[in-house]
Structure 1
Amino acid sequence: MVVCGDDALARRLAAELRSVYGEQVTLVVPPAGQAPGPPVVGRARASALFGRVSAAVQRATGSTGVNGGNGNANGDGEPAAPAPQLEAAELTDEVLAEAGVERAAALALVHDDDETNIRAALAARRLNPRLRLVIRLYNRRLGQYLEDVLDQAAALASPGVDPHAFDASTTILSDADTAAPALTAAAVAGSSKVVQAHGVLLRAAERSAAAPGDSALCTLALLSDAATDTQGPGTALPQLLPDEASVTAADGRGRIVLETVSYSGPAQPVSRSRPLGSLLSPRLRWSFVGIVLGVVALAVTAVFTTGEHPLRAVYLTLLDLFSINEPAIGESTFRQVLQLLSGFVGLLLLPVLLAAVLEALGTFRSGVVTRRPPRGLSGHVVLLGLGKIGTRVLARLRELDIPVVCVESDPEARGMALARRLRVPVVLGDVTEEGVLEAAKIHRAHSLLALTSVDTTNLEAALYARSVDPELRVVMRLYDDDFATAVYRTLRAAHPRALTRSRSVSYLAAPAFAGAMMGRQILGAVPVERKVLLIAAVTVAGLAPLEGRTLTETFRPGSWRVLALDTSTGGPEQRPDGRERPEGVAPHRSGDPSPGLVWDLHPGYVLRPEDRVVLAATGRGLAELLGRRPRTAAPAPDGGG
């Protein structure tokens, strides 16, 4: 297999393929000094500092920092073997040929630049029509078109050959889309890890040990003691895909359960029409109410003091208010006093009218300008950075109707247009400057998501936010995984009651990319602390651990578990091969959240070769399921990952 990239995702993906799947990998990277990436100023020094502090904390507490992650590439505690490396400034035909693309089974193009990946994909498909392609693209619509074109090119390049004889599929993935659900879920209490792909929606919800779980399909994982926030850093490791006995025996530990959710449809476009009340702020509305009450009071007073008819009294009062009435010379003293008071109220009306006009214009222009955080806002999420990752996370948060305040230093950042369209408040400024986080109302926020491309900026923002609120939930995106581990362990020890998460996007995305290179349809990834569970759809044919076995027999704790049967190609009442639904498969209900999937399978249902199933598995579990690694006597206690 060949992996081409210019950042941490490429190296982590190569290590994942070698250490977890046992594949032969060639890594193609730019020459030293040419690889783009986030600024690293101060990161090495900070990493060393936090590493020393973390080591001291571990010696003092005896904690291994299980939730902080590890520096290994595969996340299993095993060191990742380095892959053979080829340096090239551009992915030309000659470079691809030297890397062995003509003989490779799969090629991953994970450069940060979409155009570079597209050019290399077209060249690779021409060199090897049977090559399995996994391409990293941020533009999802372009990715769909490119996937269809490359698959069609592979089919036309091999006329008369059975398309099932080889797997030349093209898979378009985005590290931003893969990591966004995990980052969103880590920042919001009670919100869920949502996996959405091809109409399939799954929700991995975190629950306490005492929470009822009648609606759950199964238990995906048992959390460590540290994740439950009960006794600070614990010693129990997270357990992936436990059996029923383990779930029953895990008294007092939190767990992650799988649920189904209904499809909510595409987001509704923002309406341009606005009710009159939304044009003016509450202060202006109260100002107008005060002026109206003043006019009414003056008119009533005129009726009782001058004996005028009520309508005429109101008319004269308005004329005096707008200074278009004749002076009350020679009239009674009461009339003259009322005229002076009406003129004074008219003077007060002028600035209120001007403020109303300016505010209304600003409201109508809110579609093209940024909004400021409203007064009294609390319980919101402060999102730092509107780059690729921040934009996807912002969209996820708004899909869940979670209030968000964004902080961005670049007015032309990628996510600014989305923030304006969704009418999300944005504070423009450098987060390291005084008063920027205060403007985002960090002291009343529910959580902080630091997703800028600079590790030290994210760390500085997190530390300042913790000084404002020691129990604030903090989620940081850290480019360097060793740095993320050290930061997590130190902050966890310093603030044991607060929830801290340090996430590396490459860590969350690499398992999904590796799974796609193995030829499986990866629907998504569910993070469990610093480990990852993959949700995949596979065909039973040729898989000995599944074919001809019941669901109970196929379940391997810590490795894989069948979740549902995919019948999307055969209609709601037929199997994929067109035959009637077999015994053990319940008919679809009208309210079934995913009409193409059957979730309530009987434990005794026997899987047939033509079946296509959705399963949850660890990286090692999927590798073993395909026979890529020799089986062991028993899976690891934490299920790998």
Structure 2
Amino acid sequence: MSRLRDGLPRNGDPRPHFVVCGADALVYTVAEELANAGHRIRLTVIVPPDLRSDVPDLGTLRGIRVVRAERLDERTFRAAGLADAAALALVMPDDVVNLHAALCAQAVEPDLRLVIRMFNSGLGYGVRRLFEDSAVLSDAAMAAPAFVAAALGEVAPTHVRLPGRTVYVARRADVQPEHVICSLTAADGAGRVDVLPAEPAAEAQQPEDLVLAEATGRPAGQTLAAQRLVRARKRRRHPLATFGRAVRAALNRKLGIAVVITLVVTAISGTVLAHAAEVHGFWKSIYVTLLTAVGSSDVEENRNAVAQAAQLVLTIAGLALLPLITAAVVEGMVNARLALARGAVPNDRADHIVVVGLGSVGTRVLRQLVDLGLEVVAIDRRADARGAKVAEQLGVPLIVGDASLEETLRAASVATSKALVVVSTDDVTNLQAALNARAARPGLRVVLRLFDDDFARRVEDAFNIDISRSVSRLAAPAFVAAMLERDVLATIPVDRHALLVAAVRVLGGAPLDGAPLSRVDRALSVRVIGLSAAGAEWVDWAPDPRRVLGAGDRIFVVARRAGLRALVEQATPPAESLLVERAETPGEGRDQRP
């Protein structure tokens, strides 16, 4: 158990001690969120001696202790007082460094609660199994819903990626009944709105009520296999369209102009030559023209000057024509092959969303947009980007090029797109791409990722960018919630309330151990949306309420903060719940300094 569940810290100070380790902007935002979370805590932040320039000064945060260390090893953790810590957040920008630090921290304090940042989701599953009391989070996963919501013009980030599915908040009237997971609000007709109500009867349901729904990216009732079959049939029905896209991809504008100019010169010179040499008949004119063009003509001294000049120009044009045709054929074949393999972007594509940057954030944004059934075009400067294979699997066209260049944005048909989401890791490229896209289409919705939060706010105001986001600012609340709560996956703003999507594990000897799942559901407080059996990663998103819970089961819920706290107590043995209450009760008359 973590220190919050294991009793008071060893030094007798009733204030929980939290430790945060990081090297980029996320370490500052997590520390700031903890310092402003409204809890009386002790906070230690471990950072390398030389922090990145985009990390604000930690000294501006009051009441924290800063430890600078080259390595996150046992010696560093002991010096930071990890032995009496309630939780440790490892938010270094390297999965291997975080895993090594977690192993070292466990050697110092085996019962420590760990909150670990992981980019690789597969590795994250393994790490979660390795450490009993841990939460493995991805800042990319936490930030992606905000970018998706901003691209769609929504007020709040309402799309959340869960294991195997994406869920979102919508009006009941906009969702097929079979895709509704649970009700989030219900109007009683008298002006009162209940949050997390019991599921209303069909006749009591209002079109404006908010619901949590599953994003499938396909029509209601259609299976994934059926969706793939329909896509395959569509491709077979339109072979000419596929061929046309390949031909358009094969044509290079500059090379095409050169070929056309050369052909025009050849035609004019051939006509003049045939007329001056008194060649009669259409076929004979073509014959003489083509032979001269390929350099097979003989010098005719007896011809007049006009014929000789035309023959000279034609011979020179022929010498230029052959390599141009060869270059056009070779480049065309290469481009057509790539277009057929990846899927070219039709020139008439419209109302799609362009995603720039297929790193950890961009890949998750791409997945969620496709889950929502939206047309997407991706851009990345590398053909082997993290999300390139994902784009290929989802049938999303990928343009390899520099998004800061106008021709790259034109290739993605940005002038006819619905929105541009720029989430690469280069602030300069992101800003340049946003400005060029705005120049191509002044009213375009632009969602821009910038690393520095203050810079993001200023760019939004100065350049009239619709939405500029800092990933660290978006992700930090989830990391803090995981340290203060248990397995909070996302926060969904609904009305004036904040609902938490969380996974709570049932411990042996807890009140819920051996109880039916129906006991968890509480109107206006907690709604069950899924269940994962002990030791399994697979989640049952339609669990039977009569299912008897056992130790190790994970319950996925949407809850209010007080409801989640009560659920955690139900999932914890009574003796440990008492210790949690003692650990979370602030002491009186204690020194607030670390």
Give the shorter-chain TM-score range: 0.5 to 0.7
Contact 2:19/2:88, CA 8 A, preserved across alignment = yes
Partners of 1:543 and 1:23 in 2: how far apart? 28
> In the alignment, does 2:183 pair up with 1:215?
no
Equivalent residue for 2:490, pick from 520, 525, 530: 525
Contact 1:373/1:426, CA 8 A, preserved across alignment = no
Instruction: Name the CA shift for 1:546/1:314 in 2 (closer, same or farther; >3 Å).
Output: farther
Partners of 1:598 and 1:412 in 2: how far apart? 36
Kindly provide the CA deviation profile for residues 390-433 of structure 1, in whole angstroms up to 9, marking residues without a partner as x. 56646766887611345x8xx9998799899984243365x9xx
1:108 CA drift (Å): 1.8
**Equivalent runs, 1:513-592 vs 2, <5 Å:** 513-514=479-480, 517=483, 524-525=489-490, 527-528=492-493, 533-536=500-503, 538-539=505-506, 544=511, 548=515, 551=518, 554-556=520-522, 559-566=525-532
Contact 1:378/1:444, CA 8 A, preserved across alignment = yes
- Matched to 1:183, the amino acid is F
Residue 349 of structure 1 aligns with which residue?
A: 321
**Equivalent runs, 1:97-136 vs 2, <5 Å:** 97-114=78-95, 116-136=97-117
Instruction: Name the CA shift for 1:19/1:127 in 2 (closer, same or farther; >3 Å).
Output: same
Partners of 2:210 and 2:40 in 1: how far apart? 35
Partners of 1:103 and 1:339 in 2: how far apart? 94
Partners of 2:197 and 2:314 in 1: how far apart? 79
Residue 446 of structure 2 aligns with which residue?
A: 474
Equivalent residue for 1:608, pick from 541, 549, 560: 549
Instruction: Name the CA shift for 1:172/1:566 in 2 (closer, same or farther; >3 Å).
Output: closer
- Matched to 2:174, the amino acid is A
Kindly provide the CA deviation profile for residues 137-175 of structure 1, in whole angstroms up to 9, marking residues without a partner as x. 435566667667xx3xxxxxxxxxxxxxxx735554331
Contact 2:167/2:215, CA 8 A, preserved across alignment = yes
Instruction: Name the CA shift for 1:436/1:609 in 2 (closer, same or farther; >3 Å).
Output: closer
Partners of 1:349 and 1:138 in 2: how far apart? 53
Stretch moving more, 542-551 or 456-465: 456-465
Instruction: Name the CA shift for 1:359/1:461 in 2 (closer, same or farther; >3 Å).
Output: closer
Residue 173 of structure 1 aligns with which residue?
A: 137
Instruction: Name the CA shift for 1:533/1:182 in 2 (closer, same or farther; >3 Å).
Output: farther
Partners of 2:167 and 2:555 in 1: how far apart? 18
> In the alignment, does 2:408 pair up with 1:427?
no
Instruction: Name the CA shift for 1:187/1:558 in 2 (closer, same or farther; >3 Å).
Output: farther
Instruction: Name the CA shift for 1:11/1:185 in 2 (closer, same or farther; >3 Å).
Output: same
Contact 1:508/1:532, CA 8 A, preserved across alignment = no
Partners of 2:407 and 2:475 in 1: how far apart? 34
1:447 CA drift (Å): 1.6
**Equivalent runs, 1:387-536 vs 2, <5 Å:** 389-390=361-362, 393=365, 402-405=376-379, 423-427=398-402, 429=404, 443-451=415-423, 471-477=443-449, 500-514=466-480, 517=483, 524-525=489-490, 527-528=492-493, 533-536=500-503
Contact 2:113/2:134, CA 8 A, preserved across alignment = yes
Give ranges in structure 1 of 5+ residues lacking alignment.
45-80, 152-166, 224-235, 266-273, 570-575, 577-593, 631-641
Residue 48 of structure 1 aligns with which residue?
A: none
Partners of 2:96 and 2:67 in 1: how far apart? 19
Instruction: Name the CA shift for 1:508/1:617 in 2 (closer, same or farther; >3 Å).
Output: farther
Instruction: Name the one with the larger helix percent.
Output: 2
Residue 44 of structure 2 aligns with which residue?
A: 27
Kindly provide the CA deviation profile for residues 10-45 of structure 1, in whole angstroms up to 9, marking residues without a partner as x. 4554576788796955332338x943352779xx9x
1:201 CA drift (Å): 1.7
Residue 257 of structure 1 aligns with which residue?
A: 213
TM-score, normalized by length of structure 1? Answer: 0.56
Partners of 1:34 and 1:283 in 2: how far apart? 49
Residue 85 of structure 1 aligns with which residue?
A: 65
SS in 2 for 1:87: strand
SS in 1 for 2:176: coil
Equivalent residue for 2:52, pick from 36, 45, 51: 36
1:189 CA drift (Å): 6.8
Partners of 2:457 and 2:564 in 1: how far apart? 26
**Equivalent runs, 1:623-638 vs 2, <5 Å:** 623-627=565-569
1:123 CA drift (Å): 2.0
Kindly provide the CA deviation profile for residues 325-375 of structure 1, in whole angstroms up to 9, marking residues without a partner as x. 5579999xxx999999986984673464154157349749989xxx99997
Partners of 1:19 and 1:243 in 2: how far apart? 34
Residue 20 of structure 2 aligns with which residue?
A: 4
1:250 CA drift (Å): 6.5
SS in 1 for 2:164: strand
Kindly provide the CA deviation profile for residues 283-302 of structure 1, in whole angstroms up to 9, marking residues without a partner as x. 9789989999999xx99x99
Instruction: Name the CA shift for 1:99/1:436 in 2 (closer, same or farther; >3 Å).
Output: same
Partners of 1:481 and 1:240 in 2: how far apart? 32
Partners of 2:36 and 2:102 in 1: how far apart? 26
Equivalent residue for 1:94, pick from 48, 72, 75: 75
Contact 1:561/1:616, CA 8 A, preserved across alignment = yes
Contact 1:29/1:86, CA 8 A, preserved across alignment = yes
- Matched to 1:427, the amino acid is D
SS in 2 for 1:536: strand
Partners of 1:507 and 1:237 in 2: how far apart? 33
1:386 CA drift (Å): 7.0
State the number of aligned residues. 504
Partners of 1:460 and 1:246 in 2: how far apart? 52
- Matched to 2:401, the amino acid is V
1:479 CA drift (Å): 5.4
SS in 1 for 2:376: coil
1:561 CA drift (Å): 1.5
Kindly provide the CA deviation profile for residues 438-474 of structure 1, in whole angstroms up to 9, marking residues without a partner as x. 8987544422334467989978986886687564323
Instruction: Name the CA shift for 1:441/1:127 in 2 (closer, same or farther; >3 Å).
Output: same
Partners of 2:198 and 2:442 in 1: how far apart? 37
Q: Report the RMSD for the aligned CA atoms in angstroms.
A: 6.4
Contact 2:150/2:467, CA 8 A, preserved across alignment = yes
- Matched to 1:404, the amino acid is A
Partners of 1:138 and 1:193 in 2: how far apart? 19
- Matched to 1:625, the amino acid is L
Partners of 2:260 and 2:409 in 1: how far apart? 35
